[in-house]
Structure 1
Amino acid sequence: MPTPTLLRRRAGSAPRPSQPSQPPRPAGRRPRLVALDGLRIVAALLVVFHHYVGYGGGPDRGESAWTKPAWVVFPTAERFAAYTWTGVELFFVISGFVICMSSWGRSLGDFFKSRVVRLYPAYWFAVLLTTAVLVLWPIVRHPLDPQDVLLNLTMLQEPFKVGSVDAVYWTLWVEMRFYLLFALVVWKGVTYRRVVAFCLLWSVASVLVAADRAPFPDYLLMPEYSGYFIAGMAMYLMYRFGPTLLLWGIVAVSWLFSVHDVSVYSENLSGSLGRPMSAWPAVVLMTLAYLAVLALALGRLSWVRGRWLTTAGALTYPLYLLHEHIGWTGIRLLRHHLAPWPLVGVMTAGMLLAAWLVHRFVERPLSALLSRGMTRALAALREHPAEPVADPGAARTALPAPAQLPDPARLTDPARLTDQVQLTDQATAERPVLRP
C-alpha cells in the first residue's frame, strides 16, 4: 500500500499598483526573522509526529514500523497525529515567503546558485545515508536499485518516474517546479508589480488547468499546491510594503484553493491509515499554518527572540530529509526494548542530533565549497561575450581582393573613359541596397 507521501502525487523597484498602508522597509541587510526559523522547526516536527505517531509506515504489519496500525499503538494521540501532515502545507507557505524575500535584487545566476547550494549538500548525504540504512536493515522499506539511487542524487527522479530513496522527497520536486516558475520573475527583476502579476497569473492558470486537466500544464503549474506558494509570496509583500486589499484578496483565494486540496487529500488518506478520515481537522491545521505566516508578515511575531531558534531552523531541512525511513527502521529495531512513547522521544531526539551533525559537518562545509565553485563558474560565464566575435585573422582573409586600379593611360582615352563610366553605372545599379 502506498504511503501518504506517495499518495500526495495526485492526478530596482517599480511603482506599486496601490499605495501601501506603510512605506516600504529600507533596502539593505534586514534583521533575521527569528520567528520564521521557529515556524520552520514547528513544521518539521509536525511532519515527524505524523510519520511516527499518526502513520508509522502503513496499516499492515509488514509496512508499519510498529508492526500494527498506529491507531492501535496510540489510540488517542493518533487522532491528532493523523492530520499533522499539514506541516508540509506550512512549509510551502513559508517557501513562498522566503523565496520572494531572498530573491529580491538578485540576478538569475545568483538565484540559481542559492537554490543549488541550499538544497543539494544535505540532500546528497541523506540519499546515501538512507540507502545505507535500508541496505543494512531492509525491514520496513527496501533500498532502490543502484542506478535509481544514482538518479536520486540529481533530485530529478520524479520526472523520470523513478522511486525516491525516501518518500518525503516528493516535496522537493514540487519546490523545484516553483523555483522554475519564479525564475521568470527573477530573470526580469523582482518588483512589487511583477510579483503581484505572477501571483494573479499563476492563480488564474491553476484554475484553468485544474478545470481542463491538461497533463503537461497541470504538471508544471501544480494547481494542488500553487495556492500555498502564492499566499506566501503575497504575505511577504505585506511584510515588505504593508497590506493592501489586493494582497488580502490573493491570500483569501489561495486559502480557498488550499481548503479543497487538504479536503481531497484527507479522503484519499483513509485507506493508508486503515480508518475513516474527516476533512475538518486538516482544514483547521492548514488554516493555522496560514495564520502563523500571516502573523509574521504583519509584525505580530516580532517579539519572538532567541538564538536557539536560528539553530533549530537550520536543522529543519536535514531533519526532514532523514527522519522518515531511517526513523521507521529504528522504531522497528527498538520496539521490543522501549515503550512506544519513550521510543518516539528517543527517535525524535536522535533525528535532531543527526540533523545537527549533518548541518555542522556536511551541509555547512560542503555548501561553502559548492558556493565558491559556482561563483567562479558564474563569473567565467559572465566574462564571455553575449554575441559571437569573428576571428580578425579570418575576417582579413575573407575580404575580397581590392580592385585593380586602371591604367592612367587608359583614363586619358575618351573612348575608354566612356566605357569605364558605363561599367561603373551598371555595377552601381546591380549592387544591393543596404538598410541603415
Structure 2
Amino acid sequence: MTLKSERLKGPDGLRGFAALWVVLYHLWSALQRRDTDWVWGYVSDFFEYGFLGVDIFFVLSGFVIAYSLTGRFIDNLFVPRFLVRRSIRIDPPYWLTIVLALIFIGMKNIVFQEYAEPLPSFENIFVHVLYLQDLLGYEAISSVFWTLCLEFQFYIIFSTLLWLFFKGKNALLGNINGFVFVSVLCFVFLSVFFRFSSLSFPVSGTIIPYAYEFSLGIIACQYITGRAHINQLVVVCLIAFFCSYFYKGAIFAVVPIFAVVLMVGSAVGGKFFSFLNCRALQYLGRISYSLYLTHAIVGWATISFLVKIFSNWPSPFITVLIFLSGFSVSIIFANIFYVAVEKYFIGLSKKISRARVVNVRI
C-alpha cells in the first residue's frame, strides 16, 4: 500500500464511534430531568463517559493531519495554504452552527421561559468566529465549540513546526531521532500533568493540556509509515497511560491508548479491527463533523421539548422513546447538514492548490 494511494477506513470508523459516543453523552445528559435509575448500570456508565469521545477525536486529528501531510513538500506558502484549506473545510459549517445555536436560544426563551437566557453579545459571537472564546474567557455558545478552538491551535502549531523543520523538503519522511523522541516524551508528560494534576496551565483555553493526545496520533502515523519504531510508539503510549492513570484514573488513561491501538491495528490490516469498516460506523464517520456540531443543539432541544410535553408520563417506555427521538433527529439533521453545507466546503477545500507530494510506501 502506498501512503497516498488509498484512504484508510479505520480512522473513519473510529471517528464515527467517537461521534456516536459524544452524542449519546449529551442526549443522556438532556434526559436527566426524567427518572433513569432503572437503566442498567453499565449502559448509563457508558453514556456518562461519552465525553471521552472528544479524546478519541484529538488522537484522530493528530493521526489524520500527520498522515495527510507526510511526504508533502514544504515550500514558503505551505503554512498559509494549509490553514486556508482547513479554514474552508471547517469554518463555514461552524459559523452556520453558531447561527443555528442563536436561533435555538431564541426559541428556547419562548418555549421554556423558566430557562430563558440572554442572547450572546456581539463580542462573544465575534470571538467565537475566531476560535478565541476560551482563551479570552467568554461563555460558550454551544457546549461542543471548545474543541474546535484546540483543533485550530493544533493546525497552526503543527504546520508551523513542519515549516520550520522541513522547509525545502518533504515533510515527516525522516526517522525520529533520539533528541526528538526524548522531547516528545517530556512534552507528553507535561501535557498530562497540566491536564490532570492540581496545577493547571497558567493560560486557560490552550491546547497544552490535551496536546499529548494529538502527539499520540502523530507518533502512531509515524509508526505505520515506517518512520518510528514500535518501541518508540509503545514507550510514548506507556508514558501517557501511566501519567493519566496516576493523576486521574483508568478510564482516562485507557481511552487515548485504545484509539491508538485501533488506528494502528486497522492500518496494518488486523482482522480483529475490521469492525471499524462496517457501513454504520463509516456512515457516522462521514457525517461526524456535522453530527458533532449540531447534535448538542438539535438533539438536546428535541429531548428537552419532549421531556416537557411528557412530564406527566413517567413510564420508562416513554423515556426510551424520547431518547430515541432525540437521537434520530440528531442523525437526520446531521445528514441534511452534511449534504447541504459541509459536503460543498469539503469539495471547495480540495480545490486549493497543494504542494507536491511524494508517494511513500508503507
Residues 175-194 of structure 1, C-alpha deviation per residue, up to 9 Å, x if partnerless?
22222221233213322447
**TM norm structure 1:** 0.65
Note if contact 2:133-2:140 (Cα within 8 Å) is conserved in structure 1.
yes
Note if contact 2:295-2:330 (Cα within 8 Å) is conserved in structure 1.
yes
Higher deviation after alignment, 290-299 or 165-174 = 290-299
Give the AA of the match of 2:338: H
Query: What does 1:35-434 correspond to in 2, within 5 Å?
Result: 35-53=10-28, 55-56=29-30, 66-68=32-34, 72=37, 74=39, 76=41, 77-104=43-70, 105-106=72-73, 107-138=78-109, 139=112, 142=117, 143-187=119-163, 188-189=165-166, 190-193=171-174, 200-205=182-187, 207=189, 210=193, 215-216=202-203, 220=206, 222=208, 224-241=209-226, 243-260=229-246, 263=248, 279-300=249-270, 303=274, 305=277, 310-335=282-307, 336-337=309-310, 339-369=318-348
Q: CA deviation at 1:239?
A: 1.2
Distance 1:148 1:73 in 2: 40
Residues 284-334 of structure 1, C-alpha deviation per residue, up to 9 Å, x if partnerless?
545433432232344326746466654432210111111113322211111
Give the AA of the match of 1:135: G
Q: CA 1:300/1:185 → structure 2, altered by over 3 Å: closer, same or farther? A: farther
Give the AA of the match of 1:362: V
Determine what percentage of the aligned residue pairs are the same residue.
Answer: 22
Note if contact 1:84-1:285 (Cα within 8 Å) is conserved in structure 2.
no
Q: CA deviation at 1:258?
A: 3.7
Q: CA 1:173/1:257 → structure 2, altered by over 3 Å: closer, same or farther? A: farther
Q: CA 1:91/1:208 → structure 2, altered by over 3 Å: closer, same or farther? A: closer
Distance 1:195 1:359 in 2: 38
Note if contact 1:238-1:298 (Cα within 8 Å) is conserved in structure 2.
no
Q: CA deviation at 1:35?
A: 1.9
Distance 1:227 1:318 in 2: 26
Where in structure 2 are there 5+ consecutive unaligned residues?
311-316, 356-362
Distance 2:200 2:142 in 1: 28
Q: CA 1:200/1:314 → structure 2, altered by over 3 Å: closer, same or farther? A: farther
Q: CA 1:367/1:286 → structure 2, altered by over 3 Å: closer, same or farther? A: closer
Residues 67-114 of structure 1, C-alpha deviation per residue, up to 9 Å, x if partnerless?
35x754746332332122221111111111101111220532332123
Q: CA deviation at 1:51?
A: 1.4
Distance 1:281 1:342 in 2: 30
Give the AA of the match of 1:48: V
Q: CA deviation at 1:203?
A: 3.8
Q: CA deviation at 1:129?
A: 0.8
Distance 1:184 1:260 in 2: 33
Q: Count residues with an aligned counterpart.
A: 323
Larger Rg: 1
- Aligned residue for 2:327, secondary structure, equals helix
Note if contact 1:231-1:251 (Cα within 8 Å) is conserved in structure 2.
yes
Q: CA deviation at 1:365?
A: 2.3
Residues 363-403 of structure 1, C-alpha deviation per residue, up to 9 Å, x if partnerless?
2224545666x669x9xxxxxxxxxxxxxxxxxxxxxxxxx
Note if contact 2:223-2:229 (Cα within 8 Å) is conserved in structure 1.
yes
Q: CA deviation at 1:248?
A: 2.2
Higher relative contact order (CA 8 A, sep 6+): 2
Higher deviation after alignment, 332-341 or 78-87 = 332-341
Higher deviation after alignment, 319-328 or 337-346 = 337-346
- Aligned residue for 1:108, secondary structure, equals helix
Higher deviation after alignment, 146-155 or 189-198 = 189-198
Give the AA of the match of 1:226: A
- Aligned residue for 2:80, secondary structure, equals helix
Q: CA deviation at 1:127?
A: 0.9
Note if contact 1:235-1:294 (Cα within 8 Å) is conserved in structure 2.
yes
- Aligned residue for 1:167, secondary structure, equals coil
Q: CA 1:291/1:194 → structure 2, altered by over 3 Å: closer, same or farther? A: closer
Corresponding residue of 2:360: none
Q: CA deviation at 1:45?
A: 0.6
Note if contact 1:34-1:306 (Cα within 8 Å) is conserved in structure 2.
no
Q: CA 1:162/1:173 → structure 2, altered by over 3 Å: closer, same or farther? A: same
Distance 1:320 1:208 in 2: 29
Note if contact 2:62-2:216 (Cα within 8 Å) is conserved in structure 1.
yes
Higher deviation after alignment, 75-84 or 294-303 = 294-303
CA-based RMSD: 3.2
Q: CA 1:221/1:282 → structure 2, altered by over 3 Å: closer, same or farther? A: closer
Note if contact 2:188-2:239 (Cα within 8 Å) is conserved in structure 1.
no
Higher deviation after alignment, 299-308 or 361-370 = 299-308
